[in-house]
Structure 1
Amino acid sequence: MDRTFTVDEARALLPAVIEEAAAVVAARADLAEIDFQRRSGGRSELGGLPELKGLQARIEEILSGWSELGIEVKGIAPVLVDFPSVLDGESVRLCWIEGERELAWYHRTELGFAGRRPL
């Protein structure tokens, strides 16, 4: 979906993104623990292969939902998303990374994360 967001539209979606990102972070940690225990021959209290597959599916469900909204998923460790936008006639990405409390950064589309600037 090719969509551009205003700053206000992106900020309105951010509380839901933050809540879902917390679910991704929790699933990511559980997934890492189960996978480590499986590879080391142990058993995790969090479960085995069925739980691992369930966690993978949950993460994919959240990421797919964001993509359907037009949000670009750049990473999950840490969770990093971009909202395509236009500022002063220039293509930019409104940028949010796990741990931030608000949408306060952007970067020119072609510069990526390294070009982040405050809104």
Structure 2
Amino acid sequence: MDRIFTVDEARAIMPVLLERADAFVTMRGEMAELAHELRSTGTSEAGGLAEAKAYEARLEEILGWFEERGIEVKGIAPLLVDFPAVLDGARVRLCWLEGDRDLAWYHHDELGFAGRRPLP
């Protein structure tokens, strides 16, 4: 069974979530640059295959942090996460998208991201 968050519970997690998300975004960019350089030239000042694997492991560790808390990772570029919740008796997902600095959106389960609307 999914963990069900209240809006207050999800918002209380936001400061740590933002730290993890910022680390993820930075690392994702560094890994992309390293991978591009390795594909293009075969070398990189940032390292080689071992460093790329270390980036992958760290990214997976950060994603695991979300999942361990019942936060659903829906996308990684951009980073998109949902908190299962109930609003006015309906099952919804409180929706956070990379770049947001607060938890301010939700969507009904059956609508997904396309049905995203501001929290009341």
Q: CA RMSD, aligned part only?
A: 1.0
Is 1:117 aligned with 2:117?
yes
Deviation larger for 72-81 or 32-41? 32-41
Q: How many positions carry a matched residue from both structures?
A: 119
**Structure 2 unaligned regions, length at least 5:** none
Output the TM-score relative to the length of structure 1: 0.96
* Residue pairs, 1:12-91, within 5 angstroms: 12-91=12-91
Distance 2:111 2:45 in 1: 43
Shift of 1:51: 0.8
Q: Which residue number in structure 2 is paired with residue 92 of structure 1?
A: 92
Deviation larger for 38-47 or 16-25? 38-47
**CA offsets 1:31-77 (integer angstroms, 9 cap, x no match):** 11111111112422211111100110011001111101000001111
Question: How many percent identity over aligned positions?
Answer: 65
Distance 2:47 2:26 in 1: 15
Task: Give the 3-state SS of the residue equivalent to 2:41 in structure 1.
Answer: coil
Runs of 4 or more above 3 Å deviation: none
**Structure 1 unaligned regions, length at least 5:** none
Output the TM-score relative to the length of structure 2: 0.95
Distance 2:4 2:68 in 1: 13
- Specify the code of the residue in structure 2 equivalent to 1:14: M
